[in-house]
Amino acid sequence: MTASSTILAKQAAPPADSVVTPERFAEGMRTFAEWQAAIEKNKETFQRHYDEYVPDMGDIDAIKALVEQHGVKALIIGEDWCPDVWRGLPVFSRVGELTGMETRHFLRDLNKDIMAEFLKDGEFESVPTVVFYDKNHKYLGHWIERADRANAEMPPLRKVMEGKEPGTPAHDEARAQYQLLTWDHAEDWRAAEVAEFRALLEEALA
């Protein structure tokens, strides 16, 4: 597998004196249930993505083998208002459960110092961001925002919002229609996300 352009290739590694020490990592929320208890918005949407994710056991088994061999663990940064987080974070929570990977969830806006180390293109506080480490807390790479497949398939879906003035009922209706359209692609995007996690880890640990 080749790592996605959204992950390893374009993103800078954190500094040697990263704020994400093993102690700071340990402060994060351990489970999806803890995440759900901590957020205020979109709990039903998060739960639906969690419940509807259908694992590809080939990817799960491959990631599990890397977890067992290298002690892979992951830090997940998100916020409850972001559609990419609704789709991405629950899937990664399930991957952690299925593979035995230690995971920690952090709210972006309460952890700006962590987010600052993993800006998309060195500029944008994009979420979700998933940062991988090995058992010695060595940085392996990080994944940002959404799978390449989702990036390719979203623009045609967004056409329903073209020409609609933000803040108007027409725009709100079009955005709701867009969100419904994304559910038709959700299963494929979830699968693509996990395939990219696997590719990142296989490349980093080769």
pLDDT tens across 4-22, in order? 434 444 567 888 899 999 9
Integer-rounded Cα Rg, in Å, for the chain is 17
Q: What is the pLDDT of residue 90?
A: 97
Q: What CA–CA distance (Å, rounded) separates 99 from 83?
A: 25
Q: What is the pLDDT of residue 203?
A: 95
Mean pLDDT of the chain: 93
- pLDDT of 197 over the 60 cut: yes
Coil, helix or strand for 111?
Answer: coil
197, burial (CB in 10 Å: exposed 0-12, middle 13-18, buried 19+): buried
Q: What is the pLDDT of residue 158?
A: 87
Coil, helix or strand for 16?
Answer: coil
Please, are residues 197 and 63 in contact by the beta-carbon 8 Å criterion? Answer: yes
Q: Are strands 73-78 and 102-107 parallel, antiparallel or unpaired?
A: parallel
pTM (two decimals): 0.92
What does the pLDDT look like over 28-66, one tens digit per residue?
Answer: 999 999 999 999 999 999 999 999 999 999 999 999 999
Please, are residues 19 and 117 in contact by the beta-carbon 8 Å criterion? Answer: yes
Helices vs. strands in the chain: H and E counts, helices first: 8, 4
Instruction: Write down all domains in the chain, each with its CATH number in brackets.
Output: 22-204 (3.40.30.10)
Please, are residues 78 and 85 in contact by the beta-carbon 8 Å criterion? Answer: yes
What does the pLDDT look like over 56-106, one tens digit per residue?
Answer: 999 999 999 999 999 999 999 999 999 999 999 999 999 999 999 999 999
Smallest Cα–Cα separation from 114: which of 6, 10, 18?
18
Q: What is the pLDDT of residue 12?
A: 78
Please, are residues 30 and 139 in contact by the beta-carbon 8 Å criterion? Answer: no
Residue ranges of E strands in 109-179: 129-133, 139-144
Confidence grade of residue 177 (pLDDT, cut at 50, 70, 90): very high
